[in-house]
């Protein structure tokens, strides 16, 4: 589908599917559906576990033809390392932005920066864009047609180049470890 | 007693950040800056309120409630995506912030690509 639009396809190694998953085309989605069902009902009652399991099995199976390819997580350890760092940054982001907003005398120095992407996997790019939007003073605003650069709006920065470097080393590298290498 | 204090602290903190986000929405100078208030200050704002609510029902009422976790997860997924779409739409319409490195108005190519961060 993406090839038709002239967007570079993922390398072949990333497209081949493990054979086991014919009946479970989206294993993570199955887990998430079961989890969401149990949380919605706020119970671990066997009846609801069963209903959740049926939903989690049937929905990805019937919907797989119009769902995008399932994400592949290469390194759970990298994900576990990244999560606390990300949550901490979210908390810090809130204090920083609240401080900027409430400090009436402070002149903000907003700026646009273009972040060149090393990521190829669409899920990795989505994750990076969302992480950027949730952390200190940055909102991801546009991905170019070739998925090569991400345009980011920075609320307050003295040095846009340093901002790019920070995003790349602090967020892009760990996300790349999680999804790609 | 201690539980009540902690719950109150969560609620006050949540309320503070929600207020800061709303003030930012009203006070910041241009469209793109205003996007920052709601996407960030509200995540901890609503997060604090949800944490307070979860503690209240879990500790003082009928038992463990996890609905709030679900709300938090959905919020964390939807807030950045909607901010991205708003920013993109604004760029598409050529609303120019006039800040450093600003992309020239109207350079956004016509839409024949999938929404990037959705």
Instruction: Give one DSSP letter per residue of B31-100, joined into a string.
Output: HHHHTHIIIIIHHHHHHHHHHHHHHIIIIISSS---HHHHHHHHHHHHHHHHHHHHHHHHHHHT-----B
For residue A127, tell me if it sits in a domain: yes
Contact A41, A86 (CB under 8 A): no
Check CB contact under 8 Å for A155 and B36.
Answer: yes
Q: Does A161 touch chain B (CB under 8 A)?
A: no
Query: Of the given ranges (A109-123, B27-41, B88-102), which has the lowest mean pLDDT?
Result: B88-102
Name the band, by pLDDT with cuts 50, 70 and 90, for residue B113.
Answer: very low
For residue A95, tell me if it sits in a domain: yes
For residue A163, tell me if it sits in a domain: yes
CA dihedral B45, B46, B49, B54 (to 10 degrees): -140
pLDDT of residue B118: 42
Q: Are residues A97 and A34 in the same domain?
A: no
Domain that holds residue B14: 2-93
Q: How far is A95 from A103, CA to CA, in rounded Å?
A: 12
3-class SS at A5? coil
Question: Two tokens at B5?
Answer: 């204090």
Check CB contact under 8 Å for A102 and B20.
Answer: yes
Check CB contact under 8 Å for B33 and A125.
Answer: no
3-class SS at A78? helix
Q: Are residues A50 and A114 in the same domain?
A: no
Q: How many domains does chain A have?
A: 2
For residue A4, tell me if it sits in a domain: no
Contact B40, A94 (CB under 8 A): yes
Q: Are residues A18 and A84 in the same domain?
A: no
Answer yes or no: is the ipTM higher than 0.85.
no
Residue in chain B closest to A91 (alpha carbons) equals B44
Q: Does A160 touch chain B (CB under 8 A)?
A: yes
Q: Are residues A82 and A125 in the same domain?
A: yes
Q: Are residues A94 and A150 in the same domain?
A: yes
Q: Are residues A93 and A46 in the same domain?
A: no
B25-33: average pLDDT:
80
| Local structure of residue A168 (DSSP, 8 states) | I
Q: How far is A86 from A92, CA to CA, in rounded Å?
A: 10
pLDDT, mean over chain B: 77
Name the band, by pLDDT with cuts 50, 70 and 90, for residue B66.
Answer: confident
Q: Are residues A80 and A169 in the same domain?
A: yes
Nearest CA to B35 out of B101, B85, B109 is that of B85
Q: How far is A42 from A34, CA to CA, in rounded Å?
A: 12
Name the band, by pLDDT with cuts 50, 70 and 90, for residue B112.
Answer: very low
Check CB contact under 8 Å for A134 and B43.
Answer: yes
Q: Judge whether residue B115 has pLDDT over 70.
A: no
Check CB contact under 8 Å for B40 and A97.
Answer: yes
For residue A35, tell me if it sits in a domain: yes
Backbone angles phi, psi at B37, to 5 degrees: -55, -65
The residues, ordered by sequence, that sit 6+ positions from A71 with a Cβ below 8 Å of its Cβ are: A28, A121, A123, A179
Check CB contact under 8 Å for B40 and A143.
Answer: no
Contact A162, A147 (CB under 8 A): no
| Local structure of residue A170 (DSSP, 8 states) | I
Between residues B86 and B62, which one has the greater pLDDT?
B86
Contact B76, B42 (CB under 8 A): no
Residues of B in contact with A39 (CB under 8 A): 66-67, 69-70
Q: Are residues A52 and A112 in the same domain?
A: no
For residue B108, tell me if it sits in a domain: no
Q: Any bridge partners for residue A142, and if so which?
A: A151
Q: Any bridge partners for residue A115, and if so which?
A: A150
Nearest CB partner across the interface for B87, out of A101, A109, A139: A139
pLDDT tens for chain A, 181 residues: list them: 444 455 555 554 445 555 556 777 778 888 888 989 988 888 888 888 999 899 988 888 888 888 777 777 888 888 888 999 988 888 887 888 888 888 777 777 788 888 888 888 888 888 888 888 887 678 888 887 777 888 888 888 778 888 888 888 888 888 888 887 6
pLDDT of residue B9: 92
Question: Around Cβ A164, how many Cβ atoms within 10 Å?
Answer: 19
Q: How far is B74 from B71, CA to CA, in rounded Å?
A: 5
Q: How many domains does chain B have?
A: 1
For residue B104, tell me if it sits in a domain: no
Crossing angle for the helix pair A46-63 and A27-41, to the nearest 10 degrees: 140
Q: Are residues A47 and A92 in the same domain?
A: no
Residues of B in contact with A112 (CB under 8 A): 97, 99-103
Q: Exposed, middle or buried by CB within 10 Å (0-12, 13-18, 19+), for A116?
A: exposed
Residues of A in contact with B20 (CB under 8 A): 97-98, 101-102
pLDDT of residue B109: 47
For residue A71, tell me if it sits in a domain: no
Q: Are residues A83 and A59 in the same domain?
A: no
Q: Does A162 touch chain B (CB under 8 A)?
A: no
Q: What is the pTM of this model?
A: 0.75
Check CB contact under 8 Å for A40 and B67.
Answer: yes
Nearest CB partner across the interface for B109, out of A136, A145, A153: A145
For residue B102, tell me if it sits in a domain: no
pLDDT of residue B106: 42
For residue A6, tell me if it sits in a domain: no
B62-86: average pLDDT:
83
pLDDT of residue A93: 78
Contact B34, B24 (CB under 8 A): yes
- Chain A stretch 24-43, residues whose beta carbon is closer than 8 A to a beta carbon of chain B: 36, 39-40, 42
Domain that holds residue A144: 76-179
């Amino acid at each position: 589908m993406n090839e038709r639009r002239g967007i570079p396809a993922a390398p072949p190694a990333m497209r081949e599917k493990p054979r086991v998953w014919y009946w479970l085309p989206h294993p993570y989605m199955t887990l998430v559906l079961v989890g969401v069902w149990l949380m919605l009902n706020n119970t671990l009652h066997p009846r609801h576990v069963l209903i959740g399991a049926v939903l989690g099995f049937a929905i990805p199976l019937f919907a797989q033809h119009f769902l995008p390819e399932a994400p592949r997580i290469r390194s759970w350890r990298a994900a576990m390392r990244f999560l606390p760092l990300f949550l901490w940054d979210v908390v810090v982001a809130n204090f920083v932005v609240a401080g900027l907003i409430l400090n009436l005398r402070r002149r903000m120095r907003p700026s646009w920066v273009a972040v060149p992407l090393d990521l190829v996997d669409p899920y990795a790019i989505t994750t990076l864009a969302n992480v950027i939007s949730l952390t200190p003073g940055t909102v991801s605003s546009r991905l170019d047609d070739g998925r090569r650069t991400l345009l980011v709006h920075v609320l307050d920065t003295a040095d846009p180049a340093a901002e790019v470097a920070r995003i790349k080393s602090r967020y892009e590298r760990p996300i790349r470890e999680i999804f790609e290498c | 007693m201690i539980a009540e204090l902690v719950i109150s602290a969560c609620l006050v903190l949540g309320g503070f950040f929600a207020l800061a986000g709303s003030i930012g929405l009203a006070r910041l100078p241009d469209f793109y800056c205003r996007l920052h208030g709601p996407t960030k200050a509200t995540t901890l704002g609503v997060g604090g309120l949800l944490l307070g609510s979860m503690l209240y029902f879990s500790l003082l009422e009928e038992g463990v409630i996890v609905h709030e976790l679900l709300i938090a997860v959905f919020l964390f997924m939807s807030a950045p995506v909607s901010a991205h779409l708003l920013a993109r739409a604004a760029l598409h319409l050529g609303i120019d912030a006039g800040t450093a490195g600003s992309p020239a108005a109207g350079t956004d190519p016509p839409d024949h690509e999938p929404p990037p961060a959705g």
